[in-house]
A and B are shown apart, each in its own frame.
Chain A
Amino acid sequence: MRFSGFKVVKEALTGHRGWKPLWRDPEPQGHYDIVIVGGGGHGLATAYHLAATFGQARIAVLEKGWLGGGNIGRNTTIIRSNYMLPDNEPFYEFSMKLWESMEQDLNFNAMVSQRGILNLCHTDAQRDAFRRRGNAMLLAGADAELLDQDGVRAMAPFLNFDNARFPIKGGLLQRRAGTARHDGVAWGYARAADQRGVDIIQNCEVTGFRIENGAVKGVETSRGFIGAGKVGVAVAGSSGRVMQMAGMRLPIESHVLQAFVSEGLKPVIPGVITFGAGHFYVSQSDKGGLVFGGDIDGYNSYAQRGNLPVVEDVAEGGMALMPMLGRARLLRMWGGVMDMSMDGSPIIDRTDIDGLFFNGGWCYGGFKATPASGYCFAHLLATGRPHETAAAYRLDRFARGHVIDEKGVGAQPNLH
């Protein structure tokens, strides 16, 4: 089934009886060439690129719950490539370029909307840092513009420019950044992978690895043993739990991040606005809800909910930045478990166990990485070599002293 304008009109005229499920619901087979653990955005994108880009076959994605139940369906949907370090920026720009073509590639409307992201600055030092980051972005082929206060005012006149503590002096704007419908991204990759023969198996929890003579032979699951030539793990917030079953400790702590949505309002916010100094960021969904959030709660957590002090902190940040927010009613709030790495950057690498590969450490920023993470993890699984933009995302970088620490705060995950 291909989606097209013609198909929509045809279905409208014939009572919508021709729509079919987007993917099959197959029984697991006894053995696959490649098993992906975790049916979030990264696992599904990996399976899609294995089949579509790297010509692999006999692939399964094992998901313990349902597609879209993890962080892929919990994030605040921001996509951007505004990093600074040379080990990060080319990867995120590669991802940005993949976002620009993914809806056509997948034949699926993921509502990718390049409405721009604006990071606000409040001091000369911060403006200098933004100028430097913007230049690093330009060098990696991304777009960046430095706005002065008038430039910000023209875009977002409703901001509180004269806050006594954090007066707004300007901002770093990436116009090609924006938002995408998060669960639509999971569905789009799932459908496209399924069409290329990938078995997507939901309600199938991996409970152990079968490892013989230092090589992985398959996975134990709630639906029986499934043999595998290679196993790729992409379970985000559950990384610690799952890799522990393979006897591995990781440079990762799990933390909870909360997000909030207001009632639907008329369009007020032009793109994504971040107020890093005040621990607050906001955008507006196509339905009109203000989607906003702030910092992680700051203590280890596997509970998909946070505590009230952060709610208060986010609300205060929001009120300081755009006082009109106080008029809006909050509709929903929720939490997701983040795989916070020790330097704030991700890992896409093989492990010491033959055939076992790991993808994780995405912190609060893995949604934007979904297309490139899938591409690069598939590249590694299929060819045995890291993709050029992900070559630095190694597990041993910590021991080698080659950390990728954008914020420069050290091995303290609740500060990244």
Chain B
Amino acid sequence: MLIPHPLLGPRDAQEFTYLGDAALMQRPDPQAGEAAFADYVFQRDNPAGVHRELWYHEYGDRSWLVVTRDTTTHEILGAKLARNVKMGLPE
């Protein structure tokens, strides 16, 4: 799989490590209570189809990306810097 890195262009997925669903960026409020944190840590949507997920460019520029990928075909539909996604910036 080739990941279209927004700064570096297409990079081999082997340069990255995989964390999981990009929803992990939405950490609950510290006061949200145990149930909210149990849900955040353990429950997953696990969709068959389009999935937004976190990849870390460990053997590269060490940036976190939000990659959009189809879990039924492995087709990669796009990638953005996680930092920009979090801050609501374009790209």
* Given contact pairs A240-B48, A249-B43, A309-B13, A302 touches B72 in the complex (Cβ within 8 A): yes
A252 to B42, alpha carbons, bound, how many Å? 8
Question: Nearest CB to that of A339 among chain B residues?
Answer: B46
A240 to B20, alpha carbons, bound, how many Å? 15
Asked if B27 is an interface residue, CB under 8 A from chain A, the answer is no
Asked if A114 is an interface residue, CB under 8 A from chain B, the answer is no
Asked if A224 is an interface residue, CB under 8 A from chain B, the answer is no
Q: Which B residues lie within 8 Å of A87 (CB)? A: none
Considering only residues 8-50 of chain B, those with a C-beta below 8 Å from chain A are 13-14, 18-21, 34-35, 38-39, 41-48
A307 to B13, alpha carbons, bound, how many Å? 10
A413 to B42, alpha carbons, bound, how many Å? 10
Are B46 and A411 in touch, CB under 8 angstroms?
no
Question: Nearest CB to that of A342 among chain B residues?
Answer: B42
Give the interface SS of chain B, mostly helix, strand, loop or mixed: mixed
Asked if A174 is an interface residue, CB under 8 A from chain B, the answer is no
Asked if B5 is an interface residue, CB under 8 A from chain A, the answer is no
Q: Which A residues lie within 8 Å of B41 (CB)? A: 342, 398, 411
Asked if A241 is an interface residue, CB under 8 A from chain B, the answer is yes
Are A412 and B20 in touch, CB under 8 angstroms?
yes
* Given contact pairs A301-B74, A302-B71, A307-B74, A253 touches B46 in the complex (Cβ within 8 A): yes
Considering only residues 38-81 of chain B, those with a C-beta below 8 Å from chain A are 38-39, 41-48, 51, 53, 69, 71-74
A299 to B73, alpha carbons, bound, how many Å? 12
Asked if A251 is an interface residue, CB under 8 A from chain B, the answer is yes
* Given contact pairs A254-B71, A300-B53, A301-B74, A399 touches B20 in the complex (Cβ within 8 A): no
Count of B interface residues, CB-CB < 8 Å: 26
Asked if B1 is an interface residue, CB under 8 A from chain A, the answer is yes
Q: Which A residues lie within 8 Å of B39 (CB)? A: 399
Question: Nearest CB to that of B14 among chain A residues?
Answer: A309
Are A252 and B46 in touch, CB under 8 angstroms?
yes
* Given contact pairs A309-B14, A412-B20, A303 touches B42 in the complex (Cβ within 8 A): no
Chain A residues near B (Cβ < 8 Å): 240-241, 249-254, 298-303, 307, 309, 342, 398-399, 411-414
19 contacts between A and B (CB under 8 A): A240-B44, A240-B45, A240-B48, A250-B43, A250-B44, A251-B44, A253-B20, A254-B71, A300-B20, A300-B51, A300-B71, A303-B72, A307-B74, A309-B14, A342-B41, A398-B38, A398-B41, A399-B34, A399-B39
Chain B residues near A (Cβ < 8 Å): 1, 13-14, 18-21, 34-35, 38-39, 41-48, 51, 53, 69, 71-74
